[in-house]
Amino acid sequence: MAGLVFWGLVALATVTGLVTAWTLGANSNSPPFAPAIGANAISTMRAAFLIGILAALGALTQGGAISETVGAGLIDGVAITSLAATAGLLTATGFMAFGIYSGYPVPAAFATTGAMVGVGLSLGGAPAFDTYRRIVTFWALVPPVSGGLAYLTATILRRDDIPETVGVPLLAAVVGAIVANVRLSIIPSPTGAEQGSIAAYAAGVAARAGVPGVELAAMGAATLVVSAASFLFIRRRTLVSVDRGVKVFLVLLGSLVAFSSGGSQVGLATGPLENLYRAELGLPGFVLLAVGATGILGGAWMGAPRLLQATSREYAQLGVRRSIAALVPGFVIAQLAIALGIPISFNNIIISGVIGGGLAGGSAGVSRRKIGVTLVFWLLTLFSSIAIGFGLYRALAVVLA
């Protein structure tokens, strides 16, 4: 009987995780391609197809760090049980579903983090204050950093003394340099870490020569090569047609952000299941990430088209260049969060980027009242999810006792 109850909870927790991942695929991974659709650079259905593939690949190759933080780093002294994982995921999914159907921008990272803190405290665990300080500091820095990067990007694109045949390729070169240092599980690491990058791999190959300092030079050279290739690729297209070149860059940038979104968001669905899958069932982390990637893929293919059509109209009003300005910080901050293992909200990043890009033109295009209401709603999401997660676990424990 006990075995049946255990496997029943495993099935329930897994299904709940899949639903959460589906919701993330339909909601959180859509914004990166909305600007490209609004600019008529790609069709809605093709964008939804690419979002699913790219986000799923990002989940498989980059999702481990944030998944571990959500599953084991938010509470000290206890392990998240299958029942606690179910309670946390149900709480987070409920908040996200409310956001989808009400139109309020519910940040998935806030809802999931709060829910897992709540169920962890309900289990008798102790608050992991060091982790909270890291996460809150990062969250607090996102608006000014995202807004600042967007402002800088939009300013470069608007300067009359910098032709778009130079400014857009320069942005592509910066993005390429970051891509060269993005860590992926499919690239072997010279240090034995789970993830390596193109630049780190080049350093590992060069290190075999035994020449002091050659690793740093190899990393720099690999970064420059990828950066230069990115510059030339977009430069050639802008020289043929500025409009076409900008749209190509917008699609590629959206692809990178969608990939990063999958890597940063999948941990919100798989994190609560970390202890169940890896400690209790003894399965490798790849299996859990595959479950999350499957949910994200299904959500993107089934739920993203409707949201893409709605958000693309908003981005069409922003314009192509302001949309690029909003996506550049999205890619940079998402990759930084993945490297640090910090759950993030793409709503937070994109909204801040839109505001920063708007300021470069003299107006953010968003009212102060709307910004204030959004911030208050985010804080309410965080604290109420803690309370609901705490109470829901206690209620389920009593019912299943």
> What's phi and psi for 375, nearest 5 deg?
-65, -45
State residue 101's pLDDT score.
Answer: 72
The span from the first CA to the last CA of the chain, in angstroms, equals: 13
- Side-chain-facing half-sphere of 387: CA atoms under 13 Å: 6
Structure tokens at 259: 């990939």
Residue 376 CB-density burial (10 A; 0-12 exposed, 13-18 middle, 19+ buried)? exposed
Residue 152 one-letter amino acid: L
Q: How far apart are CA 38 and CA 318, in angstroms?
A: 9
Structure tokens at 265: 């968001």
| CA 183 to chain CA centroid, nearest Å | 14
Closest CA to 174 of 319, 325, 280, 64: 325
How many residues in total does the chain contain? 401
State residue 147's pLDDT score.
Answer: 84
State residue 162's pLDDT score.
Answer: 82
Residue 60 one-letter amino acid: L
Q: What is the DSSP letter of 189?
A: P
What is the residue-wise DSSP string for 68-87? HIIIIISEES----HHHHHH
Cα–Cα distances in angstroms (integers) from residue 154 to residues 149, 217, 229, 331, 383, in the given order: 9, 32, 23, 15, 35
State residue 69's pLDDT score.
Answer: 92
**Per-position pLDDT tens, the chain of length 401:** 456 777 887 888 899 889 889 888 877 777 777 777 777 778 888 888 888 999 999 999 998 889 999 988 999 989 898 889 999 999 998 888 887 676 666 788 899 999 999 999 999 999 999 999 999 999 988 888 888 888 888 888 877 778 888 889 999 999 999 999 998 888 876 665 567 888 888 888 887 766 667 888 889 999 999 999 999 999 999 999 988 888 899 899 989 988 998 988 899 999 999 988 888 888 888 899 999 999 999 988 887 777 776 666 666 566 777 778 888 888 999 899 998 999 988 767 777 777 776 666 655 455 566 667 777 888 888 999 999 999 999 998 888 76
Q: What is the DSSP letter of 161?
A: T
State residue 364's pLDDT score.
Answer: 47
State residue 104's pLDDT score.
Answer: 64
User: Which residues make beta-bridge pairs with 126?
Assistant: 76
What is the reported pTM? 0.88
Structure tokens at 279: 């400690």
Residue 30 has a CB neighbour count (10 Å cut-off) of 29
> What's phi and psi for 362, nearest 5 deg?
100, -10
Residue 183 has a CB neighbour count (10 Å cut-off) of 21
Closest CA to 345 of 358, 334, 329, 331: 334
